[in-house]
Amino acid sequence: MKTTTGYSGIQISLHWLVAILIVVAWFTGEGGKAAMKVVEKGGTAGFVPHVAIGLAILALVVTRLLLRLGRGTPAAPGEPGSLAVLASDWGHRLIYLLMLAVPLGGLCTYFLGLDVGDLHELGANVLMVVILGHALMALYHQYVLKDGVLSRMMRPE
Ligand code: HEM
Ligand code: HEM
């Protein structure tokens, strides 16, 4: 993976756009089981927004991964190889894994009729918990360690 001095404007825009869409997807997924019963009978149960937002997330996450591969990302702050840097790198990988697996699970349930709705819901809830930890770490870096990590997800370089 290439190492850069900062995130590009498009990487930053995608980070915040996907963050907002994930929260919206999480709330619109509420009552998904009941909605699926209506969908199975040919209705929509107002579930189209959830599916559309979820599919948009999937497309935007794939775009982000391609950008990471092509352009790279800045190194996590701290000593290379230290526990903090490893935790940051693997934490981000876990978020990417969940950001792909959760919408793919939803897709398999909705379009292919596979019985993975519960897994989809579990994955979405795990993603929310991991993201909460991620946001707290970002705030800890910015306001306690004062190493400007949050600023670099605000200002393109
Ligand atoms: C659904 C919500 C969120 C998701 C899915 C998410 C995901 C990610 C991912 C995957 C990265 C790795 C860098 C990249 O490839 O873009 C990242 C970086 C970052 N995120 Fe988030 N994020 C979310 C919300 C937040 C929030 C609420 C904050 C701030 C409070 C935040 C602050 C940051 C910062 C500062 C970085 C840069 C870290 C670094 O460069 O080491 N994120 N985020
Ligand atoms: C990151 C993106 C997504 C998040 C965070 C998310 C979140 C959720 C949540 C929290 C539920 C729980 C429903 C409940 O309370 O019963 C749910 C249900 C559901 N979602 Fe998603 N979803 C995402 C993407 C998608 C996509 C792309 C699709 C379809 C193409 C989809 C289809 C479904 C279906 C069919 C259910 C009902 C599952 C069941 O039978 O229990 N979701 N989603």
Q: Which tokens belong to 61? A: 């996450």
Alpha carbons 42 and 66: distance in angstroms, whole number: 37
Locate the ligand 1 atom nearest the alpha carbon of residue 22 and give its number: 1
Q: Which tokens belong to 139? A: 């705030």
Q: Which tokens belong to 150? A: 């949050």
Q: Residue 146: CA atoms inside 13 Å, Cβ hemisphere, count?
A: 0
A 10 A CB-CB count for 68 gives 17
Tell me which residue range forms the domain holding 92.
3-153
Q: How far is the CA of 35 from the centre of ligand 2 (A)?
A: 10
Q: How far is the CA of 120 from the centre of ligand 2 (A)?
A: 6
Which pLDDT score is estimated for 105? 98
Residue 136, C-beta contacts closer than 8 angstroms, at least 6 positions apart: none
Q: Predicted confidence band at 37 (pLDDT cuts at 50, 70, 90)?
A: confident
Ligand nearest to the CA of 120: 2
Ligand nearest to the CA of 141: 1
Q: How far is the CA of 104 from the centre of ligand 2 (A)?
A: 10
Which pLDDT score is estimated for 9? 97
For the stretch 119-145, pLDDT in tens is 999 999 999 999 999 999 999 999 999
135 in contact with ligand 1, CB cutoff 6 A: yes
* Number of independent structural domains in the chain: 1
CA distances for 38 relative to 28, 41, 51, 102, 108, angstroms: 16, 5, 15, 22, 17
